[in-house]
Structures are given as C-alpha cells and as structure tokens.
C-alpha cells in the first residue's frame, strides 16, 4: 500500500502540469555531471507552429545546486526559424542579491534551487512564419564549464 502513494502523487502532479491549456511546448534536460560545457548547448525543437497571429511567451527554466558560485547567469539563445534564418540573443538573470542571499523568485528545497526566467525570456512575441522552430541555449559565463547546473528547460506558452 505504501508504494502506491508515490505513484498516486506522480500521477496527480502530471495531471496538474498537463492541464495548462496555454502551454505549447515544454522540455527539460539534465546537465551531465552538473557540469555544463559551453560547447554543449541544449536544443529545444517545437512542434510545427501554425498560428502566427497568436502572441507567445518563452521561458528558460533552470536548476542549480547550493554550491553554484555566481550571483547570476548568462545565456546565449539562438532561434532557428523554419527557413534556417537565425536570431541570437544574450540574456542575463540573477539568482542572488549582492550579499549572496537567494532572491525571492528562486524556489526549491534541500540542495536544489530552481528559477523560471522572469520576466520571460521573450514576452508576447509572434512567430514570423508557420513551421518548426529550434531554440538553442548555451551557457554564456566566463567559465568554459559551468559547474553546479542541475538541468535546463524551455517552455513556450500562449500569451493572454
């Protein structure tokens, strides 16, 4: 009977996540050995986007462990459009204040801290043409290998 509780909790959590009608795409990848090499970006490939009149919000989600040594993080994000044209952005997010305290929008418990990049990486934007889009996310820090990174994710939601 005890083994049914974790299974029931996982099912309930899955149902809550899948009930977001505005969610268009979500994916997350673990960082191997919690060491994110600049030469190993994560690529998120959407299903075909048909509604180019709809506005969308794009989010970068990431988790670090408590030993993460920086107050902030930089990402290089390349968007590949269906016609292979590219847009490249450099974005920065803060996890800690000047005193090294976790910011209020950083959540988590135990040794893992989680952040959904807010404000959104891209807010209320429109895709220029229908098709499949790729979002390539690279770490943009000065270290060739960024330690203490647990996972990196990407979400795409319809804007309200």
Q: What confidence category does residue 149 fall into, taking pLDDT thresholds of 50, 70 and 90? A: very high
Burial of 156 from C-beta contacts in 10 A (0-12 / 13-18 / 19+): buried
Please, is 115 exposed, middle or buried when counting C-beta atoms within 10 Å of its C-beta (0-12, 13-18, 19+)? buried
- As given in the structure block, the two tokens for residue 137 are 């996310």
- The domain segmentation of the chain, as residue ranges, is 22-158
Scored b (16 or more CB within 10 A) or e, 130-139 reads eeebebbbbb
90-147 pLDDT, tens digit per residue, is 999 999 999 999 888 899 877 898 887 655 678 889 999 999 999 999 999 999 999 9
Question: What is the pLDDT averaged over residues 34-47?
Answer: 97
Residues 55, 127 contacting (CB under 8 angstroms): no
- CATH second-level architecture of 22-158? Sandwich (2.60)
Q: What is the spatial order of strands in the sheet that 72-80 belongs to? A: 42-45, 134-139, 72-80, 86-94
Give the predicted TM-score (pTM) of the model: 0.82
pLDDT over 70, % of the chain: 86
Contact (Cβ atoms closer than 8 angstroms) between residue 126 and residue 43:
no
pLDDT band per the 50, 70, 90 thresholds, residue 7: very low
State yes or no: pLDDT of 8 exceeds 80: no
């Amino acid at each position: 009977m005890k083994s049914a509780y974790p299974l029931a909790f996982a099912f309930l959590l899955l149902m809550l996540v899948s009930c977001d009608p505005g969610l268009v795409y979500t994916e997350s990848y673990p960082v191997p050995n919690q060491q994110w090499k600049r030469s190993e970006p994560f690529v998120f490939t959407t299903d075909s986007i048909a509604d180019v009149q709809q506005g969308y919000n794009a989010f970068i989600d990431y988790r670090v462990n408590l030993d993460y040594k920086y107050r902030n993080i930089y990402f290089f994000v390349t968007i590949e459009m269906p016609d292979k044209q590219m847009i490249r952005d450099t974005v920065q997010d803060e996890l800690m204040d000047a005193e090294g305290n976790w910011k209020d929008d950083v959540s988590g418990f135990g040794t893992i801290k989680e952040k959904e990049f807010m404000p959104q990486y891209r807010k209320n934007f429109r895709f220029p043409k229908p098709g499949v889009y790729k979002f390539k996310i690279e770490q943009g820090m000065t270290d060739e290998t960024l330690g203490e990174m647990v996972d990196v994710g990407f979400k795409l939601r319809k804007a309200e």
